[in-house]
Amino acid sequence: MNDWRDALSDDARKALACKPMPDWMPPMLATLTDDHFSSPEWIFERKLDGQRCLIFRRKSRLHILSRNQPDLNGTYPELIDALVDQPQQHFIADGEIVAFEGNLTSFSRLQGRMGISNPDAARESGIKVYLYLFDVLYLDSYDTTALPLRSRKKLLRGNFSFSDPLRYTSHRNTSGEAFYESACSKGWEGLIAKRADSAYQHSRSRQWLKFKCINQQELVIGGYTEPKGSRSGFGALLLGYYADGELRYAGKVGTGFNEQTLNDLGQQLKAETRKDSPYAGEQVAAAGRGVHWVEPKRVAEIGFTEWTGAGRLRHPRFLGLRHDKNANEVVREEPE
């Protein structure tokens, strides 16, 4: 028996499944909650504001895939270098790619890397990135997803070598409320609470919960307004989310753009215009005048203070485009 299996309990070894490595595994997703708690049955990790990914390695074949499966190897070549140097030759690991502004992870800064697919250009971008691993789903010839989370994290810590740009996602036990207060005071996005004995589920689950300090979610771009004054590209983006199969209007965002985004995204949206509104029914009037409708296929990450009673965003700010989520999967994220 291999050393890493010797370190597991008898029950954990029985949960291992010997099978061929799959080409894809859907990632486990957390559910938003306002119920912040402490419990010895849960662990608590920092919520990172970056790009979720799964890493698949079969000896010399190594791929970083986003959560909707595009290959990210050309975007993050230094991460490929670090993963190739790992002692394990066959594995699937789950993690988050981040860039920092000071001590805070910044999705806006990471945008400068997400649009690059050439490895040389990515290395020369000047944007340093890190990969935080927090789970292992397959090791050697074994599917590990049925193991309890604590056992999987033990395997991750013991079978991988962590030095920059590869980092282990540490956690705290029991004291979720105190950790949450500390996280918010530091300006973090929040925490992920995970049930310590949970198996890895390939779907959204209440076994993983999001404690958010900052309101932030993906929304679909359904149109834009004309720029005014000296502004170029566009004035504001019209945003929405899907409910009951219909695109619902969620308001406009006109801040958070730099000049390059205004010009580049403006050109892209002009090429995707349509005559009619993609929003449901009476939602059209809420968008105002001077609007250009677009095919609802682009997804933006938006920060905001709260939802209004009318279902609009209050004080929204554009953080960047998301290339790792399909527009038709975007729904309004509400605490459960």
From the candidates 14, 19, 47, 297, which is the catalytic residue?
A: 47
Query: Is residue 19 annotated as part of the catalytic site, yes or no?
Result: no
Which CB contacts under 8 angstroms, 24+ apart, belong to 97-101? 97/50, 97/51, 97/53, 97/64, 97/72, 97/129, 97/130, 97/131, 97/132, 98/48, 98/49, 98/50, 98/51, 98/129, 98/130, 98/132, 99/50, 99/127, 99/128, 99/129, 99/130, 100/128, 100/130
What does the block give as tokens for 129? 């990135």
Rounded CA separation 180/141 (Å): 38
Closest CA to 23 of 69, 79, 59: 69
For 162, residues 6+ apart whose C-beta sits below 8 A from its C-beta are: 133, 168
Catalytic residues: 47
